[in-house]
Structure 1
């Protein structure tokens, strides 16, 4: 059947398309709340009642039913689902230049995503729940899903986002209808599915700093019940940072990715979807700018230009790790995935299965100190693979359609190898290598039940149990000495070159806990839904792996868990011209996983049962903290062609029970006595450092037809984030990321049939210079990552 779009002043093409596909297969009813088993993981989609359909006869005697209605917003069905999930459309992602998950923090309230130490691994914080995974080997507090496949290692989620149909960001405990349980939430990214009619398109984006992004796809039928889609993207250029000593540019992207999908319908009750993806990232690393050189004496002052940086690769270090001595900080990463999804109507239930295998090979050279001085040069090599199997049974409604149920099983098996090299020859006089293997597996069971107490009132109950078993195997540290100094000759027994090695015992971490959720929702009428929920979420424990120098550092840290209380409303007014969704939340955060320090008391030359006395960095569990706040999403279409959107996030967080090592006091005591002793500082009542206010919004206007066949669109957008600490309890000063405001704008010319377009745009229109991350100290310096400068560009493409 050929689809024909009918345009009306009150109907957008996107809404009309969604209505066509939805109303063809769903009955229309208005019970008070949700059902299990939907994309948001909270409830079933409820359709809006359509107006009387019109039938249009196309060529070839095909008939197309078109439902005209007054809804003008996207994600209409999600309005009848309890929960505060933020949904982003493909158009929004394109207009805001979203190319990977790091860009989402400018669009989603109370979301912070930042690169870890200039690497490709992101750290997620949602409503203040998150973990700074400095060692990049632990499960994130916010899980990322690509086409339903969970990535339990954060670095695997850093790939390119292209040919995407939608993104959903759900806050709070998750894992009750699919995948893995987690404390902070999840990010679900869905790619475009194959189509039953032939389509193809190309999109080219050219901008400042020689940045180029090309996207292409082709989609269509192979047979009447087999369809395909192939999409790809390449991103090149864009370097705006430079070496303060030589002027050399750094930051060019060099990324390519492909995705293929096959959809097969062997019979009327079965759907099978095969998805394969591959990406390669050979980009320059994200270079930092210097805030303070803590060396004594200092080698450089604070950078006056936040795009300045520096590096200097030691040829001996390059030879040791196997890269060219002429290398600049850069990545060489390959990630691929294959997934097989099935859906079978069994009559009494739908059977949904997912089998997937993912692998990532990482090789990353990063200069963490932003200095020519060799104190923080690092090289990471890793190989991670993840096998996952999921089976879900979503039952047909019972008790006259009032009772709904879903049950499922999820299993994953992870095998991960990692090796970290550090060049500290100008600081300690040696190279250090730490390597490890980390096998792990997770087996989860979940069930969700929903009951319509009345036609408007719904009660939902979810329960999840997970058994997570992970181990640290073969953790080994090697130190390479090669300098002809008295200290090293003594260390090496009179030889100029030598290597010392130490291996640590096998350690394990077992998490065997329950998560749960109870929610109540009430549908006052078709335009107003209110809801409240209480949920408990758990995230497994883990290990620190990158700088092991004592047995105590490889001890596992405990699981973290959170109790979340939430209440909200979803509303529409003025004949669906104004939408206001809002929520209030409160989190009791227990055993938060955080990078900290411990002290083994005593004299370093006299080992104790706990280990060699000293002060060591490692992950610790913060006994208790709390976060609370609100989120508001507003969208409006006051007149034809004019639309507004506004997201508001307000967040506060404090530590209520947290004592941490006072490193300065410990160091001072050791300097005066030659012994280590533990001194702690109480951070009870201290702020947790998250931005208190996150805002984003846009305004868009479509003109009336020009020359009968064309139209112009004018769009402006902004984002604002208030001051952020480094998300560690250090107070203020150098560790603060100042507030910043970003403004963007675009103008697009296209025909009414949307077959092609030409866009001129600018991001960071005012040229604001701002920081996005203040890193932890890299041996002898404190650094930060600068945000993008102004980019001015053009985008053009066609879709047929």
Structure 2
């Protein structure tokens, strides 16, 4: 494994000359154009292809990005199909398929909104850029926390490719390959990339009475991408891409009684490879899409068009109460729950269409401008089921949601002097949603009327960058972001217990962020240091109040929330053979709403004030969920050259996040412990022949902690993967 993000800036020592600097300046496209990172007035971190290949060598999904860059967390209660991103503490723990998040994922310039699209594997990519803070001008709605931007390796005329195969414990197989080159030189190029990841079921279900799966946590995950780059003239190019994914595996494995009451420790006798479930568990996902990117250079300006269609479907079923035995027994009874709390969700159809047009000025003059138009359309249907203890259907319901969004934007920079550059951008966005929920079995009110929401907002950013020296820039940035209104009707399934439940409707969320930073190259280009300090304030923060005595979910708004902190990135190459990196962040978040209350687990140890009238928990001044205050990572790579073309290397990396709340309220049992993950990799590279062989260990300390929970009365939770290890072979041509 390799540490953090900063190795993305490192040049391979074998490709450098004696006169070249030890570290190169990384080029990013955070503003839709290639720029040196130090010149971009945004806190952006780039992970290059080499770093990403190493981090995913054990078949890890996109959650591997958690804690790999400052202020970034990624988690999921659905396993490999539903990542939730948090930047600077700002995110959304809502787990429904129509949820919207304040962190957007942009894959090859295509915005992917639905979580099953955000989970597309990262393979054969040029880099991943994490843009921290609101990106409400160039990337638009649903980016008040930031953007995770993934760029695939593009086709070119050079015939090249690679084959990468790793094999590890749990019969883990990770195969990636790519090939590309010219079909018609200087006119038509292609690149084909494939991924196959497999793991055996390694968690045994000890429930002898269950008729369902006895072994869990295995998967087969396959993805592919085909790109065709057509260059009919020197001023026109068109990139056509097709991609698809198929996943067959298990959903998240929930574990009853995994937490020791009154603490956040794992319960005595816990075994990571055993569960006791009485329900079924499976997960099947399929996605495919295509997009066309056209660039036409008209001389003074370039017109860019990005047209995309994405389709997805999924079936997922899990025993969400983890086996349903309770300690203490629920509601004063002496045995297990009467209901299995086994649920199944499926998306029979997800369709997303996007169209973006950008017009940008050319040349290296003092003035640069880009503006354009963005259109987004999505149709989503979700079918949900809950089951009785005998396996019969207790609740059957569905949700449909149609979304339309338009945006117009313009962004400009002006180089006032050779040292000072000013920038400004503005975007107008409008969103509308039509939402319907119907319940057919087990519900008080079977059919609900279609609801409609409509909202618009104007977001902006202002920036200033000053070159203190040729190797040091300071910048300041004020930016705003916007999250469209949200709708939810899942609580219709609980009407049989508590009467008609209202649909959840949240107002639009708006964020204002203030940021100052320093980006520098030091010690004759053998060290890079980036520093950032920020503060943000969000009005009408959208939150998901999960669980409580009704075991339902409500979408709510907090009047306000604040966040503040700092970020540090440092890398140092004292000698050609040694590269040291470290990065970290401190993120303070706080809910500010004295009237806000939420439900709670009936038997957990709540540490917040409880309203004596309602029995709910007051959450004013609580931190946001899944928002650790500290994120730190570091790495060290040492190379022993055998000759000018061969080297033996050793690499270790470590990532750390501090404690975090799983829910909006604070409870001893649902405060996740700090997590320290380390890795080690030892390998041999023959640069001349393009061959590499390595052995690796991930989670070398075998740290297993509760990383998420369901606040039922039986302290249900789920954990991270234990230690994995294996060998990897790679051949480049």
TM-score in same-fold range (> 0.5):
yes
| Higher RCO (C-alpha under 8 Å, 6+ residues apart) | 2
3-state secondary structure, aligned to 2:453: strand
Q: 1:41 aligns with which of 31, 54, 57?
A: 31
1:311-330 correspondence to structure 2 within 5 Å: 311-313=277-279, 328-330=280-282
The match for 2:244 is: 278
Cα distance, 1:738 vs structure 2: 0.4
Cα distance, 1:248 vs structure 2: 3.8
Cα distance, 1:179 vs structure 2: 5.3
8 Å contact from structure 2 (residues 515, 533) kept in 1: yes
Cα distance, 1:238 vs structure 2: 4.8
Cα distance, 1:500 vs structure 2: 7.6
The match for 2:414 is: 451
Question: Whose Rg is larger?
Answer: 1
Cα distance, 1:121 vs structure 2: 1.3
Q: Distance in 2 between matches of 1:9 and 1:207?
A: 39
8 Å contact from structure 2 (residues 219, 248) kept in 1: yes
Rate the CA distance shift 1:452–1:426 in 2: closer, same or farther, 3 A. Answer: same
Deviations 1:451-499 (A, max 9, x none): 11211111111111110101102x111225xxxxxxxxxxxxxxxxxx9
8 Å contact from structure 1 (residues 200, 217) kept in 2: yes
Whether 1:721 aligns to 2:711 is no
3-state secondary structure, aligned to 1:420: strand
3-state secondary structure, aligned to 1:730: coil
Q: Distance in 2 between matches of 1:666 and 1:760?
A: 48
Deviations 1:426-470 (A, max 9, x none): 79x961112021011110111101111211111111111110101
The match for 1:435 is: 398
Q: Which one is further off, 525-534 or 114-123?
A: 114-123
3-state secondary structure, aligned to 2:207: coil
Cα distance, 1:573 vs structure 2: 0.7
3-state secondary structure, aligned to 1:264: strand
3-state secondary structure, aligned to 1:282: strand
Cα distance, 1:791 vs structure 2: 1.1
Deviations 1:507-542 (A, max 9, x none): 112121111111111011221000011111110011
Q: Distance in 1 between matches of 2:523 and 2:514?
A: 31
Whether 1:642 aligns to 2:561 is no
Rate the CA distance shift 1:291–1:666 in 2: closer, same or farther, 3 A. Answer: closer
Q: Distance in 1 between matches of 2:588 and 2:257?
A: 27
8 Å contact from structure 1 (residues 177, 406) kept in 2: no
Rate the CA distance shift 1:254–1:545 in 2: closer, same or farther, 3 A. Answer: farther
What stretches of structure 2 of length at least 5 have no aligned partner? Answer: 1-13, 326-338, 604-611
The number of equivalent residue pairs is 680
8 Å contact from structure 1 (residues 146, 188) kept in 2: yes
The match for 1:176 is: 137
3-state secondary structure, aligned to 1:376: strand
1:527-676 correspondence to structure 2 within 5 Å: 527-548=471-492, 549=495, 553-596=502-545, 617-661=553-597, 663=599
Whether 1:162 aligns to 2:114 is no
Q: TM-score, normalised by structure 1?
A: 0.80
The match for 1:490 is: none
Cα distance, 1:302 vs structure 2: 7.1
8 Å contact from structure 1 (residues 291, 303) kept in 2: no
Deviations 1:379-400 (A, max 9, x none): 1111211000000000236xx9
The match for 2:333 is: none
Rate the CA distance shift 1:642–1:147 in 2: closer, same or farther, 3 A. Answer: same
Rate the CA distance shift 1:478–1:346 in 2: closer, same or farther, 3 A. Answer: same
Q: 1:357 aligns with which of 309, 313, 319?
A: 309
Q: 1:230 aligns with which of 176, 189, 192?
A: 192
Question: Could you say what the CA RMSD is over the residues aligned between the two structures, in angstroms?
Answer: 2.9
Rate the CA distance shift 1:500–1:661 in 2: closer, same or farther, 3 A. Answer: closer
Cα distance, 1:181 vs structure 2: 4.8
Cα distance, 1:173 vs structure 2: 1.0
3-state secondary structure, aligned to 1:753: coil
Deviations 1:358-377 (A, max 9, x none): 00011111121110665221
8 Å contact from structure 1 (residues 666, 678) kept in 2: no
Deviations 1:95-128 (A, max 9, x none): 2227432110131222111113557212221101
The match for 1:8 is: 17
Q: Distance in 2 between matches of 1:567 and 1:386?
A: 36
8 Å contact from structure 1 (residues 45, 80) kept in 2: no
Q: Distance in 2 between matches of 1:284 and 1:6?
A: 44
Q: Distance in 2 between matches of 1:467 and 1:573?
A: 45
Rate the CA distance shift 1:223–1:180 in 2: closer, same or farther, 3 A. Answer: farther
Q: Distance in 2 between matches of 1:181 and 1:479?
A: 34
1:476-491 correspondence to structure 2 within 5 Å: 476-479=438-441
Cα distance, 1:290 vs structure 2: 2.5
